[in-house]
């Protein structure tokens, strides 16, 4: 690949935490009898790529905004505890592929998650050694596209690509003016992309 770096999305690209998040959130929602909605895996799949505030509005539109914020904060806190202990489901051959990619390229993560989520991913699965830097909307308050720009400027990247699975990921690459690789095995249904992979391992054979 004629690039110098790769920026990855997290959920739906590097790992899948939906089952664990559902279990964690259930313990919070049970504390609120007025919340009758059961949040299942299909509900969370539709939220992939959104910020925490956007997820609250999508899942609980009937709650006022302040309570949405409170609820999502509690859900994220219990989710963190769960994922720190159990981790998530890594996509097949993820670490082997990261190991080979890191020999040639600098690797990064940019996600719309809350601050601390990327750190859990890296710590729970002992993957820190493969990544040079990361950024998220929970830390900066900015969009994924703007966070791509921050990573590029902070690390002086000249020819990066962005790998993700949703239309929001594709848009973030357009904002940063870099090529987008669609991870078709993830959660989204993206129509416009520069390159596509059907498994994480295919990153090794990608021709750019």
The DSSP string of 99-129 is HHHHTTSEEEEEESS-TTHHHHHHHHTT-GG
The rounded distance, in Å, linking the Cα atoms of 9 and 112 is 9
Mean pLDDT of the chain: 94
Mean pLDDT of 21-31: 92
Residue (of 155, 111, 104, 85) closest to 14 by Cα position: 111
Q: Give 44's DSSP letter.
A: H
Q: Are 122 and 198 part of one and the same domain?
A: yes
Q: Are 146 and 47 part of one and the same domain?
A: no
Strand order in the sheet with 5-8: 133-136, 106-111, 5-8, 160-164, 180-183, 195-197
Q: How does residue 37 score in pLDDT terms, banded at 50, 70 and 90? A: confident
State which H helix or E strand residue 141 sits in.
none
Q: Which of 42, 58, 86 is the last residue of a domain?
A: 86
Task: Answer whether residue 53 shows pLDDT above 70.
Answer: yes
Task: Answer whether residue 149 shows pLDDT above 90.
Answer: yes
Cβ contact 59:43 at 8 Å = yes
Q: Are 51 and 94 part of one and the same domain?
A: no
Strands (E), the chain: 5-8, 15-16, 89-90, 106-111, 133-136, 160-164, 180-183, 195-197
State which H helix or E strand residue 22 sits in.
helix 18-29
The rounded distance, in Å, linking the Cα atoms of 208 and 206 is 6
Task: Answer whether residue 179 shows pLDDT above 90.
Answer: yes
Q: Which of 54, 70, 86 is the last residue of a domain?
A: 86
CB atoms within 10 A of CB 200: 25
Task: Answer whether residue 1 shows pLDDT above 80.
Answer: no
Give 20's contacts (C-beta < 8 A, 6+ positions apart): 79, 82, 83, 86, 88
Six-digit token string for 59: 């899942």
Mean pLDDT of 27-54: 88
Q: Are 67 and 100 part of one and the same domain?
A: no
pLDDT > 90 fraction of the chain, expressed in percent and rounded: 87
Q: Are 75 and 111 part of one and the same domain?
A: no
Mean pLDDT of 147-155: 98
Q: How does residue 38 score in pLDDT terms, banded at 50, 70 and 90? A: confident
List, for residues 107-142, the tens digit of each pLDDT value: 999 999 999 999 999 999 999 999 999 999 999 999
Q: What pLDDT score was predicted for residue 33?
A: 87
Q: What pLDDT score was predicted for residue 49?
A: 79
Q: Give 201's DSSP letter.
A: G
Q: Are 104 and 62 part of one and the same domain?
A: no
List, for residues 68-115, the tens digit of each pLDDT value: 999 999 999 999 999 999 999 999 999 999 999 999 999 999 999 999
pLDDT > 70 fraction of the chain, expressed in percent and rounded: 100
Q: Are 171 and 158 part of one and the same domain?
A: yes
What is the model's pTM?
A: 0.91
């Amino acid at each position: 690949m004629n690039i110098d770096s790769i920026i990855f999305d997290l959920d739906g690209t590097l790992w899948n935490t939906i089952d664990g998040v559902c279990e964690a959130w259930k313990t919070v929602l049970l504390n609120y009898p007025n919340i009758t909605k059961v949040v299942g895996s299909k509900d969370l799949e539709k939220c992939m790529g959104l910020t925490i505030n956007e997820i609250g509005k999508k899942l609980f539109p009937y709650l006022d905004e302040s309570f949405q914020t409170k609820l999502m904060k509690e859900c994220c806190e219990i989710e963190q505890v769960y994922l720190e202990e159990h981790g998530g489901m890594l996509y097949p051959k993820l670490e082997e592929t990261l190991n080979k990619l890191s020999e040639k390229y600098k690797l990064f993560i940019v996600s719309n998650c809350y601050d601390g989520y990327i750190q859990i991913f890296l710590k729970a699965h002992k993957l820190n050694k493969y990544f040079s830097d990361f950024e998220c909307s929970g830390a900066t308050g900015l969009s994924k596209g703007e966070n791509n720009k921050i990573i590029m400027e902070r690390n002086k990247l000249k020819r990066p690509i962005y790998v993700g699975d949703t239309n929001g990921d594709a848009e973030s690459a357009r904002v940063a003016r870099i090529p987008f690789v669609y991870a078709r095995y993830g959660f989204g249904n993206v129509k416009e992309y520069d390159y596509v992979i059907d498994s994480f391992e295919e990153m090794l054979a990608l021709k750019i």
